[in-house]
Amino acid sequence: MKIKICGLRDNFLEVAALKPDFLGLIFYEKSPRFVPQNVDNQLKQKTFGSQKVGVFVNESEEKILKIIKEFNLDFVQLHGNETPDFCEKIREKIPVIKAFGVSSKEDLFAAQKYYQSVDYLLFDTKTSGFGGSGRKFDWSILNEEEIQKPFLLSGGIDLDVLDEIKTLKIKNLVGVDLNSRFEISPTLKDIEKLQKAIKILQ
């Protein structure tokens, strides 16, 4: 199962040393895990063994392309109201993950029109904002509509539910996104918890 560790900044290199599949940097200014462009250059170096993901919310194409180059990103995650056409334009330059908030099966219908425009979907708990709630949604919803694209599961995931996730029989569930339940404070990850999570999921 693929592992994405998101909301990184303060101990980025320690997390990178764990070699998860994806390392997530958030470039949304309203997030407590925001990465400013004048941040330490260690976050801008290429990573080996993991793919670096930049998370954006309703950002301009020009700004996204600038940050892709500046931070040596391998993936872009679009977490706002971006259209399929916008995703396709970004995907011409870099692989794309498109995030969706979920509270009912109707929310899965919105994802269908993105199947040809992105590489992965990500399903998070639906909130008034754009993720980061630390709350889990009802995963049984994901069985109510056949999902035809590989996706990551997000939203309130902690050590206690990882064994349950491994037993889920949901088509195209390929990985998890770990964030707020694995940190000491926003952008400072709990390395011991992450090590345990990786051991469970491998």
**Catalytic residue positions, numbered:** 6, 124
| Cα separation, 127 vs 131, whole angstroms | 7
Contacts of 128 (CB under 8 A, 6+ apart): none
| Per-residue exposure over 84-115, b if at least 16 CB sit within 10 Å of its own CB, e if not | eebbebbbeebbbbbbbbbeeeebbeebeebe
Which among 157, 126, 110 is positioned nearest to 1, based on CA atoms?
A: 157
| Cα separation, 182 vs 50, whole angstroms | 18
Three-state secondary-structure class, residue 36: coil
